[in-house]
Amino acid sequence: MRGEPLSQTHSAEDLQQVYQARFAGRAAYRQKVWAVLCSYFSQWIPQNATVLDLGSGWCEFINGVRCKQRYAMDMNPDVQRYAEAGVEVLQQDCSEPWPIAANSLDVVFTSNFLEHLPTKSSLERTLREAARALKPGGRFIAMGPNIKHVPGAYWDFFDHYIPLTELSLSEALRKSGLQIQICWGQFLPFTMSEGREYPAWMLKIYLSLPMAWRIWGKQFLVVATKPAERAA
């Protein structure tokens, strides 16, 4: 029996309102930050790759990543407005079947999204769809707030539902048939939705200094791969 779909927790209009209120006035800053992050994540994304941005929001990642084919999946109707030409938009509940052929994606990327799913069963269905759609050897790259390092502040966001750590997400990914390549409990600071706006050069330096992550890192980074012998 299928679990509760995401649309029954937050409508598309709800998501649009929450996102606009949370990131109002910070669009330019987010673009600068994501330009740096796209460059960093390119080490795992070949330029001839087919990439799906799961929970793409305002499309800062999928617009900036250099690859052959791009998909943006989100229920927020603003995704249609922010996706640039060449990005195919899939406005749907990600825990429902994806209109993507099996073994067709090189990368599924998601940032600060999985904690917004309503239940762990929704998360499991989403990860199974990602595993099905990935090519053998394809990567699932996930970044998100780590409940171990932001225990109280995690719940300051109205639409956070699932508390996750790098270990709990890794366990769910393995359960979906993927293999863990990287499992970092501390990576980026917690949020870009409030607080000081730091210049992009500071983020570049931060990313080059993993020792600093142990002090300021509040988000995990998990990279998993689909085994070459696994069929969808």
- When pLDDT is averaged across residues 42-53 and rounded to a whole number, the result is 97
pLDDT beyond 90 at 30: no
Write phi, then psi, for 90 (nearest 5 degrees).
Answer: -120, 95
Distance CA 224, CA 15 (A): 28
- Tell me: the pLDDT tens digits for 136-186? 999 999 999 999 999 898 898 888 999 999 999 999 999 999 999 999 999
Residue 4's pLDDT is 35
What is the predicted pLDDT for the residue at 11? 61
Q: Which residues pair with 171 in a beta bridge?
A: none
User: Is pLDDT above 50 for 114?
Assistant: yes
10 Å CB burial of residue 31 (0-12, 13-18, 19+) is middle
pLDDT for the residue numbered 18: 54
C-beta separation of 61 from 38 below 8 A: yes
Long-range contacts of 72-80 (CB under 8 A, 24+ apart): 73/98, 74/15, 75/6, 75/7, 75/10, 75/12, 75/15, 76/12, 76/15, 76/16, 76/19, 77/12, 77/13, 77/16, 78/16, 78/19, 78/20
Q: What's the pLDDT band for 24 if we cut at 50, 70, 90?
A: low
Of 172, 102, 114, 113, residue with least CA distance to 138: 102
29 confidence band (pLDDT: 50, 70, 90): confident
**Alpha-carbon distance values, 135 to 32, 128, 201 (Å):** 31, 13, 35
pLDDT score of 231 more than 60: no
pLDDT at 193: 52
Q: How far apart are CA 53 and CA 4, in angstroms?
A: 22
Q: Which CATH superfamily is 22-225 part of? A: Vaccinia Virus protein VP39 (3.40.50.150)
User: Does the pLDDT of residue 27 top 50, yes or no?
Assistant: yes
**Predicted confidence (pLDDT) at residue 190 exceeds the cutoff of 90:** no
Element (H, E) at 30: helix 27-41
Instruction: For residue 122, name the pLDDT band (cuts at 50, 70, 90).
Output: very high
- Does residue 67 contact residue 51 with C-beta atoms inside 8 Å? yes
pLDDT tens by residue, 72-110: 999 988 899 999 999 999 999 999 999 999 999 999 999
| 200-207 vs 27-41: helix crossing angle, rounded to 10 | 30
Percent with pLDDT over 90 in the chain: 73
Question: Is residue 112 within 8 Å of 90, Cβ to Cβ?
Answer: no
Q: Return the sign of the alpha-carbon dihedral for residues 110, 115, 118, 123.
A: positive
**Token code pair at residue 126:** 């989403």
Percentage, residues of the chain above pLDDT 70:
86
